[in-house]
Structure 1
Amino acid sequence: MRHFFIAGPCVIENETIVLQTAERLKGISEKYNIEIIFKSSFDKANRTSIDSFRGPGIDEGLRILSRVKEEFGFRLTTDIHIPSQAEVVAEVVDVIQIPAFLCRQTDMIVEAARTNKTVNIKKGQFMAPWDMKYATAKAKSSSDVDVWLTERGATFGYNNLVVDFRSLRIMKEFADAVIYDATHSMQMPSVAGKSLGTKEYASWLAFAAASVGVDGLFFEVHPQPEKALSDAAVMLSLDEFESIIPAVLQHWQIADEYEKDS
């Protein structure tokens, strides 16, 4: 499998921001000859506060994502939060994402797999990497779909995440692809009522993940991260995202050569 990126705003804030981001990502994809799968959520159902912005909802969100596909030709991914959303979302997206907090929800995984779309299950912050083989098996039980697993950090005490890079190699033993979520891994969840983060380390850990031989890298990006309505503390600007791509590609090349020879 050729290496790929998943990128886009955390949540669909409005059509203008989504299309502006997609246009820039299209240019980056062509410039570096890389695949970027466009990601944005129509609903963020696990925000810390009841007052937090959640998104436009499934109908409007899928309409906007459909426009991204039509105008820019991206493969798409978005997350679902209840089993009944899988069939509707599958009409638009190519990869159905299962959120980390829902990675053990059998009905969610099974319904996503029944659509015959690729299923990307984000490893819960509370999950050991070897236990993700059971989530993979749930998807495979109903359809022979590709199952991707995404590492996004593990809970380390309160309000902190750490990344065990062994998990990327462990999950490669039973997943069709393993992805490292470079921006969510930088979160400090629910500190004083909102999530903070240390995005200045995202590029360095992305280089490490590429060196470990991960298949894909996930970045949440935004034209103006400081004004983003969700995950502002960890999202990269489009310029920041583009600046790290050459080094990522070099790390991937070295890892591929090592794996080929070993």
Structure 2
Amino acid sequence: MQIPKLQHTQSGNFFLIAGPCAIEGRDIALEIADKIKKITDRLEIPYIFKGSFRKANRTKLNSFTGIGDIAALEILKEVGDTFNLPTITDIHETEHAAMAAKYVDVLQIPAFLCRQTDLLVAAAETGKAVNVKKGQFLSGQAMHFAVEKIRSVGNNVVFLTDRGNSFGYSDLVVDFRNIPEMQANQVPVVMDCTHSLQQPNQSSGITGGKPALIETIAKAAIAVGADGLFIETHPRLSEAKSDAANMLPLDKLENLLEKLVKIRKAVVA
């Protein structure tokens, strides 16, 4: 992938998109990025720091949405500059594309918005890499059209992310056929190991999750041949302002990645 500052691309490893669900503040973002970079450098895993500058898709009206757009984007830029890391954030409206592109290296299209043509084209027109999350309501094959929209304006730096399929019963199911089906578009494919374990639309208004299965999803994805993994992580889940129920505790990330690197080596051997 032609993404600035993406290191270790010749290692043969999967790449990792990881960080907190949302940008909660400068210190916590720098803390997380520092710890993950040390791990990924040692394991030679290409790493992209992630964090949402705004959380637009919330169940409850009073859920945390962010610390302010520019404030959060400036923190993302500082993380990238401080650790020489590419950064990624999701956008929800066409006007967000040009704004966010000034601060990050990759623009992400949320799953619920993957069919929004104007949003996809606006992201592509910035010239930044674009990660499109597969809608929970779509097959892997249907994402061909999202790739076409990005490429229609001459942007070929695109990858796709699976995050499970929903059947409307406050749960998600991962169909690993989606990985090779999306790879048929000649693009890297990522498995979102944390959002795919969400249990949305709970009666409490707070999304639930099954974080104990993160390792299971990650291992299976690497075994199937996923090019990258997406993992939301936080050092203190009790303090996390978004998606605490399905994030991986940061102190468990290193051990998990060590196992996954071994699986990757076995798969490509």
Summarize deviations over 1:63-90 as a string: whole Å, max 9, x none: 1011101111110000001011111211
In structure 2, the partner of 1:18 is 29
With 58-67 and 247-256 compared, the bigger mean Cα shift is at 247-256
Summarize deviations over 1:96-131 as a string: whole Å, max 9, x none: 100001000000000111111111000011111111
- Closer, same or farther: CA 175–196 of 1 in aligned 2, 3 Å: farther
In structure 2, the partner of 1:55 is 66
In structure 1, the partner of 2:5 is none
Amino acid at match of 2:226: V
d(CA) in 2 for partners of 1:118, 1:30:
22
Question: Do 1:152 and 1:163's aligned partners in 2 also have CA atoms closer than 8 Å?
Answer: yes
Question: Do 1:149 and 1:175's aligned partners in 2 also have CA atoms closer than 8 Å?
Answer: no
In structure 2, the partner of 1:119 is 130
Summarize deviations over 1:177-213 as a string: whole Å, max 9, x none: 1000000011000211110000100111100000011
Q: CA deviation at 1:175?
A: 4.3
What percent of counterpart residues are identical? 45
| SS class of match (2:246) | coil
Question: Do 1:147 and 1:175's aligned partners in 2 also have CA atoms closer than 8 Å?
Answer: no
Question: Do 1:117 and 1:145's aligned partners in 2 also have CA atoms closer than 8 Å?
Answer: no
Q: Structure 1 segments of 4 or more deviating over 3 A?
A: none
d(CA) in 1 for partners of 2:239, 2:128:
33
d(CA) in 2 for partners of 1:204, 1:104:
29
In structure 1, the partner of 2:257 is 245
Q: CA deviation at 1:253?
A: 1.6
d(CA) in 2 for partners of 1:69, 1:149:
22
1:221 equivalenced with 2:237 (yes/no): no
d(CA) in 1 for partners of 2:176, 2:266:
17
d(CA) in 2 for partners of 1:54, 1:144:
30
- Closer, same or farther: CA 175–120 of 1 in aligned 2, 3 Å: farther
1:254 equivalenced with 2:266 (yes/no): yes
d(CA) in 2 for partners of 1:157, 1:81:
23
Amino acid at match of 1:77: I
Mapping of 1:90-101 within 5 angstroms?
Answer: 90-101=101-112
d(CA) in 2 for partners of 1:45, 1:52:
10
Structure 1 residue runs of 5 or longer lacking an equivalent are 258-262
Q: CA deviation at 1:156?
A: 2.7
Mapping of 1:1-262 within 5 angstroms?
Answer: 2=9, 3-192=14-203, 193-257=205-269
Q: CA deviation at 1:13?
A: 1.0
Question: Do 1:168 and 1:214's aligned partners in 2 also have CA atoms closer than 8 Å?
Answer: yes
Question: Do 1:90 and 1:117's aligned partners in 2 also have CA atoms closer than 8 Å?
Answer: yes
Question: Do 2:233 and 2:249's aligned partners in 1 also have CA atoms closer than 8 Å?
Answer: yes
| SS class of match (1:77) | strand
Structure 1-normalised TM-score?
Answer: 0.95
Amino acid at match of 1:254: A
Structure 2 residue runs of 5 or longer lacking an equivalent are 2-8
Amino acid at match of 2:77: S
Number of positions where the alignment pairs a residue of Structure 1 with one of Structure 2: 257
Q: CA deviation at 1:57?
A: 2.6
Q: CA deviation at 1:32?
A: 1.3
Question: Do 1:120 and 1:148's aligned partners in 2 also have CA atoms closer than 8 Å?
Answer: yes
d(CA) in 1 for partners of 2:155, 2:243:
34
Question: Do 2:88 and 2:105's aligned partners in 1 also have CA atoms closer than 8 Å?
Answer: yes
